[in-house]
Structure 1
Amino acid sequence: MTQETGLFIYGIVPSDVEPTPDAEGVGTPPAEVTAVRHGELAALVSEIGLEEPMGRPADLTAYESLLDGTAEVAPVLPVRFGTVVTGEDAVHDLLAAHHEQFADALTEFEDRIQFTVHGRFDEQEFIGELLAGNADAAALADQVRGRPEIESREQRIRLGEMISQAVELRREAENRAMIDAVDGLVVANAPRQPSHELDAVNVAFLVGADDEEEFVRAVEEFAEQRRDLIRMRLIGPLAPYDFVSAHQLVE
């Protein structure tokens, strides 16, 4: 029995953008990526079996790699991961229905790219700093030190709550400080939800090509100032996932 297929849509690009010959799509084996064009727009797509399981780590990696690689050479509007349509006619319908919005957004993202700054507190350093500056927390730490967990459960819970609250407050401050540190070097910022209880910084930035080097230097300086307390990562360049609402139009 022949398996029914559809088209997996990765993103929207200007009509003159061509997938690279080595571009690999989702699926096993990796599917060939092609462009379906309509007017000034094109959609990057690949064929996929409608019954084929999707959402494996390799699929998400293929999706992100294709979009991030494209974003380095042309503006791209990421479409929500997992968007599959029945065929080229459906892609043409999508591009026709939202042609003006997509074209305007592509113009907006010309020569702009996303970077994400993610940092995580070093747990021992953070707790040490907290205990040194908070007498109540230090007293609780003394009360639980060396005692069985069952005997000091109440104190441990209270100490844990104090640490959690301190992390949250410090995280808000560090996110604000990160945004201030690159003020004037970015087009927009988008604070993100923490991905871990010890997250210190998690902010996406939309950066113009002319400001990219200075932006990276500013982030490196920010990280160096906090290197004993926060383990920082600069992720990018990326497609503008946090700044594009195009995916909402195809849900």
Structure 2
Amino acid sequence: MDTTSFMDVGTYIYCIARAEPFADSAAPILAKSIGGPGYPVYTVRFMDLVAIVSDSPAARYDVGRQNTLAHQRVIEEVMSRSEVLPVRFNTIAKSQQQIQDRLLKRKFGELHYLLRHVRGRAELGLKVFWNRERLFADIASESAQIRALRDTIAGKSPEETHYQRIQLGQLIEETIIRKRDEDADAIVQVLRPLAFETKVNKILTDMMVLNAAFLVAENNGQAFDAKVNELDDTQQGRLILKYVGPLPPYNFVNVVVHWDEE
């Protein structure tokens, strides 16, 4: 367990779900808690809603792989039984009563609205990357100016070709930005009609073209999968697609609790 500060035992919140699938006769939640052994996952109920929680010996957890995976695995198990509303990582209440009063009761209408919003839908994630060799080969083949500068620089020292190298770098950067916009837009335009909601996130690496999440209805899942496979086939190795899901709707719902709000 990797923590930054300790406290008297509080209550760590993973997500919100419908109460019915977690009634007294239901199977327990088996995913390991963020607090580690000795802190099982359980539910706090208010009317027909539950918060999925575990007792927590820490006031705050480091955002490391072990902790974030523990948080996510609980949510993913809950998703197998009910639509789910992820709660922001590191949300810790002082008590079960505080969860009932300040979260489930206070936000009752909002939480029901969000549960209806995600009902029958799941998040599908798509990250797209360029094949580096193909990218630079395509850039050179498409631009006579870039080819000319490349040939001018070839075999000469950096001192002799300082300004040409700067110019070449600027041209390549501008071309990459343009191509990223074109490729990303083309992919999103194909997939957006099959999604209920789409979110394009920030690019994480130089070779990343697209970092997107799609909220897709269950009855559209196969069609969406087929379209992603079709996109992959048509690229013939020019783009590398990394497709994951179904996932909880992390990009479309993130319940944030401010305990000091009146």
Q: State whether TM-score is above 0.5.
A: yes
Instruction: Name the structure 1 match of 2:183.
Output: 174
- Note if contact 2:10-2:59 (Cα within 8 Å) is conserved in structure 1: no
5+ unaligned residues in a row in structure 1: which ranges?
A: none
Provide the C-alpha distance between the structure 2 equivalents of 1:105 and 1:185, rounded to a whole number of angstroms. Answer: 20
Gaps of 5+ in 2: 1-5
2:3 matched residue in structure 1:
none
36, 42, 46: which one pairs with 2:44? 36
How big is each residue's C-alpha offset from its partner over 1:51-82, in whole Å with a ceiling of 9 and x where there is no partner?
A: 56432211111112222333343211111111
Of the structure 1 ranges 212-221 and 224-233, higher mean CA displacement relative to structure 2 is found in: 224-233
Query: In structure 2, what is the equivalent of residue 221 of structure 1?
Result: 230
Residue in 2 that maps onto 1:76: 84
User: 2:29, 2:77 within 8 Å by CA — same for their partners in 1?
Assistant: no
Q: What is the match of residue 66 of structure 1?
A: 74
Give matches, 1:45-194, under 5 Å: 45-50=53-58, 53-92=61-100, 93-149=102-158, 151-194=160-203
Corresponding residue SS for 2:251: helix
Question: What is the aligned partner in structure 2 of residue 11 from structure 1?
Answer: 15
Secondary structure at the counterpart of residue 63 of structure 2: coil
Q: Rg: which structure is higher?
A: 2
Gap change, CA 1:157 and 1:28, over 3 Å in 2 = farther
Q: 1:83-141: CA deviations, max 9, x gaps? A: 11111112112111110000111011111000011111111110110010011222222
> TM-score of the superposition, structure 2-length normalised?
0.86
Q: Using the alignment, how far apart are the partners of 1:28 and 1:121 within structure 2?
A: 40
Task: Give me the whole-angstrom Cα distance separating, in 2, the residues matched to 1:57 and 1:30.
Answer: 20
- C-alpha distance in structure 2 between counterparts of 1:55 and 1:30, whole Å: 21
| Cα distance, 1:50–1:133 mapped onto 2, change above 3 Å | same
Q: Contact 1:75–1:111 (CA<8 Å) still a contact in 2?
A: yes
The verdict on how the C-alpha distance between 1:250 and 1:145 changes in structure 2, with shifts beyond 3 A counting, is farther
The 2-side partners of 1:104 and 1:96 are apart by 14
Instruction: Find the residue that maps to 2:55 and give its secondary structure.
Output: strand
Compute the TM-score of the two structures, normalised by the length of structure 1: 0.90
Q: Distance in 2 between matches of 1:115 and 1:205?
A: 5
- State how many pairs are aligned: 250
Q: Contact conserved, 1:71 with 1:113, CA < 8 A, in 2?
A: no
- Aligned residue for 1:247, secondary structure, equals coil
The CA distance in 1 between the partners of 2:237 and 2:193, in whole Å, is 27
Contact 2:61 2:90 in 1 (8 A): no
Percent identity, aligned pairs only, is 22
Cα shift at 1:241: 1.1
Deviation at 1:30, TM superposition (A): 7.7
- Comparing 9-18 and 162-171, the one that deviates more: 162-171
Superposition RMSD in Å: 2.3
Q: 1:158 to 1:69 in 2, by over 3 A?
A: farther
* Cα 1:128/1:207, change in 2 over 3 Å: same
SS in 2 for 1:182: helix
Cα distance in 1 between the residues matched to 2:148 and 2:135: 16
Which of 211, 236, 242 is residue 233 of structure 1 equivalent to? Answer: 242
Deviates more, 1:59-68 or 1:124-133: 59-68
